[in-house]
Amino acid sequence: MLLRSVLRRAILLSETNTVMAKNFVIIYADDLGFGDLACYGASGIPTPNLDRMAAEGLRFTNSYATAATCTPSRYSLLTGSYPWRNPGAKILAGDAPMIITEDEPTLPRILARAGYRSAVVGKWHIGLGEGAIDWNADIRPTPLDVGFDESFIMAATNDRVPCVYVDGRRVANLDPSDPLEVRYAKENPFSEVPTGRTHPELLTTWHSDSQHWDAIVNGVGRIGFCRGGKSAQWDDETMAEVFLERAKGFISRSKEQPFFLYYALHQPHVPRIPSPRFRGATALGPRGDVIAELDWCVGQLLEHLRAEGLDEDTLVIFSSDNGPILDDGYADQARELCGCHRPSGPLRGGKYSVFDGGARVPMILRAPGLAPAGQESAALFSHADLPTSLAVLAGIAPEQAACVDGVDMSAVLTGQDEVGRESLVTEGIGARTVLRHGTWIYIPPHPGPARFADKDTESGFSPEPQLYDLTTDIGQRENLASYCPARVQSLAEELAAIQAD
């Protein structure tokens, strides 16, 4: 009790006597776009909980994930390093090794210095083990080895094997007499196990493309092959509830001390399978329905904080790891049923793209007494800033919370600084970098197709440099590079200098 009150005082009062945050929750959606929520202008999907969160907090309009894909963004969120510095930070297979090293600073490791207990619940996708994982034994490293005290995760994505939960170091509910094996070979290494290619009639939910028809789990094709482990297989329809219950449990168990929860939602990534109660919740088909479900999860978590008396003590940030995509390999009618809904809002491009819709994402922060309610912030902010900024809000000195690229933007998070960064770097698929400086966007020449034909979406790649002025052209329609060679050159030099740093 004494320790608790001392800790609490230390956290609530800095030397300058400013109010600090006690607990932190980051809720990170998977592939949710800048235009997907009602509070960002959408009308086709009910998101009352996130809309209320925005009404009670700060809604950011210039907040960026560091990448237009998952692994690189999540790597930065936890380490404060830009992903292109780590060649391993690219979309990972489900059996890929951990890409965070033993000595790298991570958000939970930094917060541990101020007595925080941390948990990750949900999508991980930053690698596990050291290669050649034995899924039937203790796995090492896991999130438990990069600073988390508790971990309940899916290894990679919901469209990749293994389709099991990993609880701490172990696959949950595994029957030792039916061992789980996972392979990412090109051809099925388990020739007796049917695949979507050999048995398309077993793809009972939707047809999926040739990238997503290796293993069949719950009638849905997945990337990668697996055998065994039947008792451990997840049920897609209950996934939202399973993760939510774990997240709530961690909060209830940790309320005696400051805590950090990284609640990594699996929605609206493919395959989009809501619980029955959200089936048909929108007219947009499964993609709309799982966003409605995601909103419910957020509401339930906030309600749990309230019920536990932690509402006033907890800073909650909601955001997304990358922009939206309609067709990501499954014939779930996301495009056909989209109607007037624009998942990227006014932005161009989406997931994978170097255009702004790739990494500019919704971000809502609620922190009663610390951040203003019902306001919008146009401050330029990178998710790589979260480790240092949250650590500072926990009372840790900025120099003790330093990361490679993330900086202290705690004043942005409390609404005191409305400007934020001068510039930041993001990347499209394949570590193709982009510089945003003020309201300018510079995209270096990136050879490659202008569209991803299989996804019917724009890559933004061009052999020519691109320059856009977001003040007059938020949709990146007019490339100004040939009119402004001096600006192109100075931005190219700035980007090169950051990359050489």
Omega prior to 141 cis, within 30 of 0 = yes
3-state secondary structure of 322: coil
> Judged by CB under 5 A, does residue 322 bind Ca ion?
yes
In 3D space, the residue among 322, 325, 353 whose CA is nearest the CA of residue 446 turns out to be: 353
Nearest-approach distance from CB 31 to ligand NG6, in angstroms: 5
The entry of ligand NG6, Ca ion, none that residue 104 binds, CB within 5 to 8 Å by partner kind: none
Q: 464-490 burial by CB neighbour count: b if 16+ within 10 A, else e?
A: ebbbbbbeeebbbeeebbeeeeebbee
Residues 31-50 that bind Ca ion (CB under 5 A): 31
SS3 of 82-142: the string is CHHHCCCCCCCCCCCCCCCCCCCCCHHHHHHCCCCEEEEEEECCCCCCCCCCCCCCCCCCC
Cα 196 from Cα 183, distance rounded (Å) = 16
Q: What is the largest CA-CA distance in the chain?
A: 68
* Shortest distance, position 123 Cβ to ligand NG6, whole Å: 8
Interaction with ligand NG6 in 172-211: which residues (CB under 6 A)?
Answer: 211
Q: How far is the CB of 321 from Ca ion (least distance, A)?
A: 4
Q: Which of residues 301-340 bind ligand NG6 (CB under 6 A)?
A: 322, 328-329
Query: How many residues bind ligand NG6, per CB under 6 A?
Result: 15
Nearer residue to ligand NG6 within complex by CB, 181 or 332: 332
Torsion, Cα of 384, 385, 388, 394 (10° steps): -120
Q: Which is nearer to ligand NG6, 157 or 433 (CB)?
A: 157
Query: Could you say whether residue 405 binds ligand NG6 (CB under 6 A)?
Result: no
- Residues in 11-40 that interact with ligand NG6 by CB under 6 A: 30-31
**Among residues 220 and 223, whose Cβ is nearest to ligand NG6?**
223
CB of 443 to Ca ion, least distance (A): 21
Q: Which of 126, 124, 77, 71 is nearest to 97 (CA)?
A: 126
Are residues 404 and 455 in contact, defined by beta-carbon separation less than 8 angstroms? Answer: no
Shortest distance, position 219 Cβ to Ca ion, whole Å: 23
What CA–CA distances, in Å, run from 211 to 188, 266, 268?
Answer: 13, 19, 19
270 in contact with ligand NG6 (CB under 6 A) = yes
Output the smallest distance, CB 323 to Ca ion, in A. Answer: 9
CB proximity list for 162: less than 8 A, separation 6 or greater: 94, 95, 135, 155, 171, 180, 182, 224, 226, 229
11 vs 161 by CB, closer to ligand NG6: 161
**Minimum CB distance to Ca ion, residue 71 (Å):** 9
Residue closest to ligand NG6, measured at CB? 70
- Could you say which of Ca ion, ligand NG6, none residue 56 binds, taking C-beta under 5 to 8 angstroms by partner kind? none
Q: Which structure tokens are listed for 220?
A: 């849905």
Instruction: Give the number of other Cβ atoms within 10 Å of residue 267's Cβ.
Output: 28
Which of 58, 128, 223, 247 binds ligand NG6 (CB under 6 A)? It is 223
Residue 430 CB, nearest distance to ligand NG6 (Å)? 11
223 binds, among ligand NG6, Ca ion, none (CB under 5 to 8 A by kind): ligand NG6
Helices marked H in 218-266 = 239-254
Q: Does 293 bind ligand NG6 (CB under 6 A)?
A: no
Figure out which of the listed residues 289, 321, 327, 332 binds Ca ion, where binding follows CB under 5 A.
Answer: 321
Binding mask 119-138 for ligand NG6 (x = CB under 6 A): ------x-------------
Q: How many residues belong to the chain?
A: 501
Q: Does 70 bind Ca ion (CB under 5 A)?
A: yes
For the chain, the straight-line distance linking the first and the last C-alpha, in angstroms and rounded, comes to 46
User: By beta-carbon distance, which residue lies closest to Ca ion?
Assistant: 70
Q: Using the minimum distance from each CB to Ca ion, give the nearer residue, 122 or 221.
A: 122
CA distances from 468 to 62, 134, 483 (A): 15, 49, 11
Nearer to ligand NG6, 57 or 350 (CB): 350
* Partners of 366 in the β-ladder: 316
What is the distance between the alpha carbons of residues 123 and 157, in angstroms, rounded to a whole number?
7
Rounded least distance, CB 274 to ligand NG6, Å: 18
| 410: Cβ contacts below 8 Å, ≥ 6 apart | 389, 390, 392, 393
Any bridge partners for residue 377, and if so which?
A: 60
| Binding status of residue 30 toward Ca ion by CB under 5 A | yes
Q: What are phi and psi of 170, to 5 degrees?
A: -120, 145
- Of 122 and 444, nearer to Ca ion (C-beta) is 122
Residue 501 is which amino acid? D
- Measured from the CB atom, the residue of 361 and 407 that comes closer to Ca ion is 361
360 DSSP assignment: B
Q: Which of 69, 195, 414, 476 binds ligand NG6 (CB under 6 A)?
A: 69
- Which of 328, 408 has the CB closer to ligand NG6? 328
Residue 147 contacts ligand NG6 per CB under 6 A:
no
Site residues (vs Ca ion, CB under 5 A): 30-31, 70, 321-322
Site residues (vs ligand NG6, CB under 6 A): 30-31, 69-70, 91, 125, 157, 159, 211, 223, 269-270, 322, 328-329
